[in-house]
Amino acid sequence: MNESANLLEKAARAIQATDRLAADGFPEVAVGRAYYAMFYVAEAILVAKGLRYTKHGGVHAAFGEHVVKTGEMDARYHRWLLDAFDRRITADYAIEASVQPEEAPA
């Protein structure tokens, strides 16, 4: 199996974890897994183009440049990725609960 396919499988597992975590009352952790599902898909698309990045910011920027600006995908997917990253950071590092159960991906 190639690297892109492995990343897509990893994304699928992250989605399964998101569903379970949200259902079990862990919305902040579910937000993180949802972001990583999106991140792995973006990374898989870039890897299929022969592009590899080691940092989140690199993947975010390259996805915008090499996938969205080329017209291959709608800009809303890039925005969703960036917004999901911001929500993950808030969920992971905010002192008080920052995600309500109804906000968690399901």
49-101 pLDDT, tens per residue?
Answer: 999 998 999 999 999 999 999 999 999 999 999 999 999 999 888 877 566 55
Alpha-helical segments (H) within 1-106: 3-23, 27-48, 56-63, 75-93
In CATH terms, the superfamily for domain 3-103 is Nucleotidyltransferases  domain 2 (1.20.120.330)
Average pLDDT over residues 33-54: 97
Domain boundaries of the chain, sorted by first residue: 3-103
Confidence grade of residue 105 (pLDDT, cut at 50, 70, 90): low
Burial class (CB in 10 A: 0-12, 13-18, 19+), 13: middle
Question: What pLDDT does 32 receive?
Answer: 95
Residue 62, amino acid: A
State mean pLDDT over 29-38.
96
φ and ψ at residue 60, rounded to 5 degrees: -60, -50
Q: Is residue 46 within 8 Å of residue 59, measured between CB atoms?
A: yes
> What was the pLDDT predicted at 94?
83
Task: Look at residue 1 in the predicted model and tell me its pLDDT.
Answer: 74
Instruction: State both tokens at 12.
Output: 């699928």
Torsion of CA 4, 57, 29, 90, to 10 degrees: -160
